[in-house]
Amino acid sequence: MPDELKRLGRREGYRLGSLRTQGVTQASVPRPFVPQFLPRHRGLVSRWVLGGLAGAAAIAGGASIGLWFVPFIVGVVAGFAMYIGRWRVRVTLSAAAAMAIVGWGVPLGLAASRGEPEGATARVVAALMGLPPHAAVGVAFTLLIGVVQALVGAWLGLVLAPRALR
């Protein structure tokens, strides 16, 4: 027992030093965690903000003329832009969701403020889906559909980006 205590903690105490001769290398020191608070994107932030506003405007224009699939197309473009600008995935998906909410929310809000029957239609759609028959529920469901389209489109754009850009 006293010999065991003398060997405890020494490198050659239990023949652990001979592991290098068997091809086992010594463990390297772990790299410390360094938080990153600054994004690694390329280009000016103002250009990306203008791109986001342009995407929201495209969705709003498409919604106003009845093109319900425009959030998907804008999402695909946002997915391609992610690799060009080196944005992180969570930032790209958040931007695509925000563009869809603003792009669909503005036309619905303007139509409701002008007294058009979007509120009544939203109530009927919500009731037909088995949800509470309130206009806010129908509008929220419409915005959710737009967000899902934008997220699926952004994910498809991320996957289809050329390998050279990855």
For residue 128, is it left (φ>0), alpha (ψ between -120 and 50) or beta? alpha
Give the pTM: 0.69
Q: Which of 22-26, 42-46, 92-96, 135-139 has the lowest mean pLDDT?
A: 22-26
Residue 42: CA count within 13 A, CB half-sphere: 7
Q: Is 152 or 24 the better-scoring residue by pLDDT?
A: 152
On average, the pLDDT of the chain sits at: 81
* CA distances for 3 relative to 6, 8, 12, 13, angstroms: 5, 9, 13, 10
**Residue 143's pLDDT band (cuts 50, 70, 90):** very high
Structure token pair of residue 92: 């790209």
Question: Among residues of the chain, what percentage have pLDDT more than 70?
Answer: 76
- Whole-angstrom Cα distance, residue 4 to residue 112? 83
Smallest CA-to-CA distance from 154 within 58, 60, 85, 90 is with 90
How does pLDDT run across 56-82, given as a tens digit for each residue? 999 999 988 989 999 999 999 999 888
Which of 8, 26, 29 lies closest to 17, judged by CA?
26
Q: How many CA atoms lie within 13 A of 121 on its CB side?
A: 9
Which pLDDT belongs to residue 164?
A: 45
Which residue type sits at 116? Answer: E
Confidence band (pLDDT; 50, 70, 90) for 116?
A: confident
Average pLDDT over residues 113-141: 83
55 Cβ contact partners less than 8 Å away, ≥ 6 residues apart: 74, 77, 78, 96, 99, 103
- Identify the CA nearest to 101 among candidates 157, 35, 149, 65: 149
- Reading phi first (left if > 0) and then psi (alpha if -120 to 50, else beta), residue 27 is in beta
Q: What is the mean pLDDT of residues 37-57?
A: 79
pLDDT at 165: 46
